[in-house]
Amino acid sequence: MKWLAALALALPAIVSASPQGIDVSNWQGTVNWGAVKANGVQFAYIKATEGTGYKSPSFNSQYIGATNAGLIRGSYHFARPDVSSGATQANYFLANGGGWSADGITLPGALDIEYNPYGATCYGLSASSMVAWITDFSNTYHTKTGRYPVIYTTTDWWKTCTGNASGFQNNNPLWIAHYASAIGELPAGYAYTTFWQFANSGSNGPGDQDLFNGDTAGLQRMAKGS
């Protein structure tokens, strides 16, 4: 299913047709993954790292808990383009939980790149420098794992900080954040999104609420890299 044809659908109709997921960080602490699974959640993204000096203290327990509950899971890195290169941060991510293997239960790592909570809107980078930074992270991750990372962002940030750069759609699955009943406009080049973060809370479990664009078999194929 391509969500191009479903942008105008009401959210409940989309939820009923798509695998549901959550994403969590240290803010959520201990997660009852059994309850999350029982609520119908099939996948999770878990924050592993930020910049080059932070690993979530909850990552290991959250990741193991999701695994033991039988979820397809992956990890994400919060980008800090103001502190080091894309390659440096990709390697830090890989060394601290961001890897991928074709075991059928591991999603490719995700790069969380959004407005800077600590200072300059675009981390002090020009649009061309930001595109180069993301490319550096992506290529480094691909070289080490054979998979390109998912890119998590908002269309507004992408327009503001990359100049609405196109080209990433050729390699990087998109995880769009948009809290509404429809997905809305996507970054340049993307005809559809692979994941949609549609709310920052919900009844399925703690953390943000996500949908996969497809069916369970498609989610499993993505984990396997096939």
Tokens of 41: 């959640």
Nearest CA among 45, 32, 80 for reference residue 195: 45
145 contacts 108 by C-beta, under 8 angstroms: yes
- For residue 186, is pLDDT > 70? yes
Tell me the pLDDT band of 16, cut-offs 50, 70 and 90: low
Q: How many residues does the chain have?
A: 226
Q: What is the pLDDT of residue 12?
A: 42
Catalytic-residue membership of 114: yes
List, for residues 168-180, the tens digit of each pLDDT value.
999 999 999 999 9
The predicted-structure confidence for 128-153, as pLDDT tens digits, reads as follows 999 999 999 999 999 999 999 999 99
Q: Is 23 a catalytic residue?
A: yes
State the pLDDT at residue 205. 85
Question: Can you read off the two tokens belonging to residue 191?
Answer: 């005809």
Residue of 114, 136, 156, 185 with catalytic role: 114
Q: Which tokens in the block code for residue 154?
A: 């908002």
CB 63 within 8 A of CB 97: yes
* Of 7-11, 28-32, 187-191, minimum mean pLDDT range: 7-11
Residue tagged active-site, from 50, 82, 103, 112: 112
Averaged over 30-48, what is the pLDDT? 97
Task: Look up residue 98 and give its two tokens.
Answer: 């961001």
Domains of the chain: 20-224 (3.20.20.80)
103 as an active site residue: the answer is no
